[in-house]
Amino acid sequence: MPTDPFSSRDAAVVVAPGHEEGIPLRDQADDKIGALRAVHEPRLFVISGPSGVGKDAVIDRLRPRFPEAYFAVTATTRPRRPGEIDGTHYFFLTEDEFLARRAQDEFLESAVVYGLHYGTPRGPIRQALAHRQDVIVKVDVQGAASIRSLVPEATTIFLAPESMTELLHRLQSRKTDTGDALLRRFATAATELDAAMGFDYVIFNEADRLEQTLDQIAAVVTAERCRVRQHPLIV
Ligand code: 5GP
């Protein structure tokens, strides 16, 4: 009875029909599969959108979905709010500390948001990418535009509110701003909507539909992870 040339899963050399001299098919093909894995370079995802759209809640709920990703901690000169932890929610810096770090080119981007400094530390992002971790960073709309121009391969996601009424409701209910500050954020949000068309994806964060928002972001992340990209990101 003829032996089945493919019967041994361990055979390093397979004598395939037409290749009776013996070809190390398995090893060759494994090399190709290895090369295919290498075309998946780690990705940088930028999540942005107007103040009050729910970026923080979205990021918090994304963490358990992508435990292997690095969620960038950004720096700010804004005073700490109750419950916020230095190094977890932000790196809280004095203005002098912030400006010194900025002068050392430690930020991938920095912006003044509502009169306070915010910046994305470059070092930890570089390190995460070098460890082949995907990076997820939350910034305002100006920050997203800066990152897009510095790192064109980054994937940018704009979170949009379902309506301005809903956005106002959220800004009022989180009670971090009142009076003029709240109105300022609301007015800025209206202009920030103009930037949405420059993003790769627009995802609506509709009221009481957080799971839907998370599913859509996860779909983008998964699709982007499967894309063929042969060049590492430079940040
Ligand atoms: P909040 O003070 O409410 O935490 O944040 C104000 C705004 O600054 C939000 O839109 C937030 O996403 C944005 N933000 C946080 N970190 C950074 C950063 O490093 N760079 C920029 N450009 N914006 C940031």
Phi-psi region of 132 (alpha: psi -120 to 50; beta: other; left: phi over 0): left
Contacts of 97 (CB under 8 A, 6+ apart): none
pLDDT value at position 17? 72
Domains of the chain (ranges plus CATH)?
A: 44-226 (3.40.50.300)
pLDDT value at position 178? 79
CB 57 within 8 A of CB 210: yes
CB 108 within 8 A of CB 121: yes
138 Cα nearest atom in ligand 1: 12
Question: Looking at the predicted structure, is the pLDDT value of residue 45 above 90?
Answer: yes
pLDDT value at position 169? 93
CB 138 within 8 A of CB 182: no
Say whether 229 sits in a helix, a strand or coil: strand
Which pLDDT band, with edges at 50, 70 and 90, does 181 fall under?
Answer: confident
What's the rounded mean pLDDT across residues 64-83? 96
- The residue whose C-alpha atom lies closest to atom 10 belonging to ligand 1 is 140
111 Cα nearest atom in ligand 1: 22
pTM of the complete model? 0.89
pLDDT value at position 144? 98
220: CA distance to ligand 1 center in Å? 22
The string of DSSP codes covering 70-130 is: EEPPPEE-SPPPTT--BTTTBEE--HHHHHHHHHTT-EEEEEEETTEEEEEEHHHHHHHHH
Average pLDDT, the chain: 91
CA distances from 227 to 35, 135, 157, 220, 222 (A): 14, 16, 16, 11, 9
Q: Which helix (H) or strand (E) holds 159?
A: strand 155-161
Which of 51, 86, 140 for mutating ligand 1's site (highest number of atoms within 8 Å of CB)?
A: 140
Query: Where does ligand 1 bind, in terms of residues with CB under 6 Å?
Result: 51, 55, 74, 78, 109, 111, 113, 118-120, 138-140, 142-143
pLDDT value at position 229? 80
200: CA distance to ligand 1 center in Å? 20
Question: Looking at the predicted structure, is the pLDDT value of residue 8 above 60?
Answer: no
Q: What is the pLDDT of residues 80-124, one digit of tens each?
A: 999 999 999 999 999 999 999 999 999 999 999 988 999 999 999
Question: Looking at the predicted structure, is the pLDDT value of residue 12 above 90?
Answer: no
> Which pair of tokens denotes residue 162?
């379902």
Say whether 28 sits in a helix, a strand or coil: helix
